[in-house]
Structure 1
Amino acid sequence: MGKISSKEKSYDFVIIGAGIIGLTIAKNLKEKYPKSSIAIIEKEKQLGFHSSGRNSGVLHAGFYYTADSLKAKFTKEGCLYWRNYCEKNNLRINKCGKVVVCKDEKELETLYELKKRGDLNKVPLEVIDEEELKNYEPNAKTYKKALWSPLTATVDPKEILLHLKITLEKDGVSFFFDTEYKYRMDDNIIKAGDFSLHYKKLINCAGLYADDIARDFGFSENYIIIPFKGIYLEYTGNDKPVKTNIYPVPNIKNPFLGVHYTIKIDGTIKIGPTAIPAFWRENYKGISRFKLDEFLQIITWEAILFLTNAFGFRNLAFEEMKKYNKNYLIEQAVNMVENIDKSKFNKWGKPGIRAQLLNMKTKELVQDFVVEGDKNTVHILNAVSPAFTASYPFTKWVVQNYIKEG
């Protein structure tokens, strides 16, 4: 290769994206190939600027997903892994559990389907009646039955990300912040920021931009990321009227779980999230980070989905847009509890964007994780919720199945 300049660097593995998927890929690579050289590039100046630092912080137990899915395979294992990781490293965790409540006979059927999925996935889960529900969450209300999930917990995602980064740096992993992937230069070379990075293997964990980058390497031909904006509303009272995560029975045809109560690590209550179709990939607030090409591409696809009502998109869009109205969002949550002061829900949290993959041929949202690749590159295209929970075992599987050293 000859002499390498200061702007040319060479690594065994180059990872795009310093979110939870990128960091756990690096952790698994170091565990399997301890002598390998690894670089992680990140276009932002800090960790957790996007999905990994803006998610709910819930460690999911793994009962929403069909037994044949990667999500089912890795969520329960990931939940146990991160619970242990937090304890071992003195990171904060709230082992508050979760109840899933329903409002009518139809939802009761779905509740039993969730229990069936939990049983197939070997997830501890208990069907309880209205009286038993009071033992777990006195303020929750349900129609006839509810589910109790003892494994569900909440963590501080940024605390975990920072701990991983410090650990990886001690193991020799190089981090390049403020270093955006620009383009593919040649076989096994990319331009990122001011650097030309040579690699034996490239792993694309770019989240919102994973599909764009994958197309540079001949992948993601059938897929595009459609962004959905999630916003939470916090309860600012000093009282704690809810102590356990309370979720509604979801529409299991869509990958969204509905408005629910999340109890943060400090006991703070928040309700949400929304799943509002966004108009560009980083459509967090106002016209910040607006990109015209993205806007035109995404609005075109959203118009197609709206007109065809693919997977019920039109209904979903109308329902979610209502949640911009704070009172409507609050009402969705209030219906799941006996009593709460609605006036104390008055602090909006930081919005997040869900990088949701769409199959352009079938016009369906992809429910499971999607990975594509060849001997030189690997592209993690759909790492949506519960990707944080599932991240360590999922990326271990990616390393075992897609990555060979040398």
Structure 2
Amino acid sequence: MKRYDYVVVGAGIIGLTIARELKSRWKECSVCMIEKEPDVAYHSSGRNSGVLHAGFYYTADSLKARFTRDGNRAMRDYCEKKGIQINRCGKIVVATDEEELKGLEELKRRAERNGVELLWMEEEEVQRLDPNVRTYQKALYSPSTASVDPIEVCQAIKADNAGMGIDMRYSTKYERFNGGVVHCDSGPIGCRYLINAAGLYADRIAHGLGFGKKYTIIPFKGIYLKYAKNKTDVVTNIYPVPNLANPFLGVHFTKTVDGSIKIGPTAIPSFWRENYKGLENFRLDEMISILIYEAKLFFTNSFNFRKLAFEEMRKYDKSRLIQASLKMVKNVDAQGFGNFMRPGIRAQLLNRETLELVQDFVIEGDNRSLHVLNAVSPAFTCAFPFARHVVDQMETLNN
């Protein structure tokens, strides 16, 4: 049985950057990553929009406000250094009426408190940037918002990690951790310290070691629809004013790294954790547990879950998803959309006691293990500074 100083569970963007940070900080330490899939970024990290967010949606006292702002710069710098393509297309947040202008004003206040560049634009200025954008009186423009290919980024970090001597064990499923041994389906691995970055299953691993007991993960399915007609009808990312009471940003136009256009995502409550398509990856125990919590949310109507569930489920109908997007643009062909793209699942943490969605990063641990319970969106953007924070917390717990 080979022994390591650190074993990281999960090879998404968070696990990859944590392992990288460990080896960067302590070059002599031994690090092993275990991943139940045959390669990195099989789930959220490889299925997200690829948008590098700027950090103006979040309250100044939140971890994700700081990590998004700093992570945007760090990820852009990393991509430039590695020759990874970036689409620096920016983002316009539009309003549809007087009430939504107040929402824009709140976003502008948050941007100023967070130290994020966010610019007011009158309608005429918006038209010069993207003639197809429809807004009421004015809009907000984020010049630092950009798009990358998330799988390309994860593969680059994977290559970095291999070059640093980090061992990668794929198709290796975590079972339990005790007595300094990580038990996996492929055999035991000796381990001084365990870091749980298992995404959709992070809560289950944490519960097995006595952490995160008041939390559970509720999965939400995000689906995008590709605009197949051309790549030119939309020039920039176009977002609506979000409902800041929940963590979902609403249906929007995304410009991908190759200039393609897509709309989405949905936030459809899922029935099991990897509920991507049909009965694929079906788990009865997961479905029963999730349905119990979704029923509680439905009957208590916590964070207006009832309306959210009905509205999002209807977006399985392509025409409804398209209609939700058209209010933000002047002239996009409703018949020009193609097929649904590969769906993603958001691992959204729920506080079981308050029945509220947790909207910031949550880490728990001790001197044997540390658990990333909520790598909340936009975790991809936040990855580099968040990884430093995780390792800082681990150091604190071990002193």
TM-score, normalisation: structure 1 = 0.97
Partner of 1:153: 146
Q: Which moved more, 1:70-79 or 1:235-244?
A: 235-244
Q: How does 1:77-96 map to 2 (within 5 A)?
A: 77-96=70-89
- RMSD across aligned positions (CA): 1.1
Deviations 1:150-204 (A, max 9, x none): 00000000001011111110100000000010123x2321211222112111000
**In structure 2, what is the Cα distance between the partners aligned to 1:368 and 1:11?**
31
Partner of 1:4: none
Partner of 2:36: 43
Q: Is the 8 A contact 2:173 2:184 kept in 1?
A: yes
Q: Quick one: which amino acid aligns to residue 393 of structure 2?
A: N
Q: Find 1:134's aligned residue among 127, 135, 142.
A: 127
Q: Which moved more, 1:205-214 or 1:193-202?
A: 193-202
Is 1:250 the counterpart of 2:231? The answer is: no
**In structure 1, what is the Cα distance between the partners aligned to 2:315 and 2:112?**
33
Is 1:402 the counterpart of 2:381? The answer is: no
Partner of 1:199: 191
**In structure 1, what is the Cα distance between the partners aligned to 2:255 and 2:82?**
21
Q: How does 1:154-303 map to 2 (within 5 A)?
A: 154-184=147-177, 186-303=178-295
Deviations 1:109-158 (A, max 9, x none): 11110110000010011011111111221110111121000000000000
Q: How does 1:305-344 map to 2 (within 5 A)?
A: 305-344=297-336
Q: Is the 8 A contact 1:41 1:180 kept in 2?
A: yes
Q: How does 1:7-156 map to 2 (within 5 A)?
A: 8-156=1-149
Unaligned runs of at least 5 residues, structure 1: 1-7
Deviations 1:325-375 (A, max 9, x none): 100000111110000111111121100000000000110000001000001
Deviation at 1:239, TM superposition (A): 4.8
Partner of 2:349: 357
**In structure 2, what is the Cα distance between the partners aligned to 1:371 and 1:239?**
41
Q: Is the 8 A contact 1:234 1:271 kept in 2?
A: yes
Q: Is the 8 A contact 2:72 2:382 kept in 1?
A: yes
Q: Is the 8 A contact 1:205 1:380 kept in 2?
A: yes
Q: Is the 8 A contact 2:231 2:259 kept in 1?
A: no
Deviations 1:216-255 (A, max 9, x none): 1100110000000000000111351001000000000000
Q: Alignment partner of 1:31: what SS?
A: helix
**In structure 2, what is the Cα distance between the partners aligned to 1:289 and 1:403?**
37
Residues 239/69 of structure 1: CA separation in 2 closer, same or farther (3 Å cut): closer
Q: Alignment partner of 1:403: what SS?
A: helix
**In structure 1, what is the Cα distance between the partners aligned to 2:327 and 2:307?**
21
Q: How does 1:347-386 map to 2 (within 5 A)?
A: 347-386=339-378
Q: Alignment partner of 2:262: what SS?
A: strand
Deviation at 1:285, TM superposition (A): 0.1
**In structure 2, what is the Cα distance between the partners aligned to 1:239 and 1:142?**
21
Q: Quick one: which amino acid aligns to residue 292 of structure 1?
A: L
**In structure 1, what is the Cα distance between the partners aligned to 2:143 and 2:345?**
28
Q: Alignment partner of 1:73: what SS?
A: helix
Q: Quick one: which amino acid aligns to residue 297 of structure 1?
A: S
**In structure 2, what is the Cα distance between the partners aligned to 1:403 and 1:287?**
42
**In structure 1, what is the Cα distance between the partners aligned to 2:212 and 2:389?**
20
Q: Alignment partner of 2:176: what SS?
A: strand
**In structure 1, what is the Cα distance between the partners aligned to 2:231 and 2:25?**
48
Q: Write out the 4+ residue segments of structure 1 that deviate beyond 3 Å after TM superposition.
A: 403-406
State percent identity of aligned pairs.
Answer: 55
Deviations 1:33-76 (A, max 9, x none): 11110000000012111000000000000000000000001101
**In structure 2, what is the Cα distance between the partners aligned to 1:344 and 1:312?**
33
Q: Alignment partner of 2:36: what SS?
A: coil
Deviation at 1:288, TM superposition (A): 0.4
Q: Is the 8 A contact 1:9 1:195 kept in 2?
A: no
TM-score, normalisation: structure 2 = 0.98
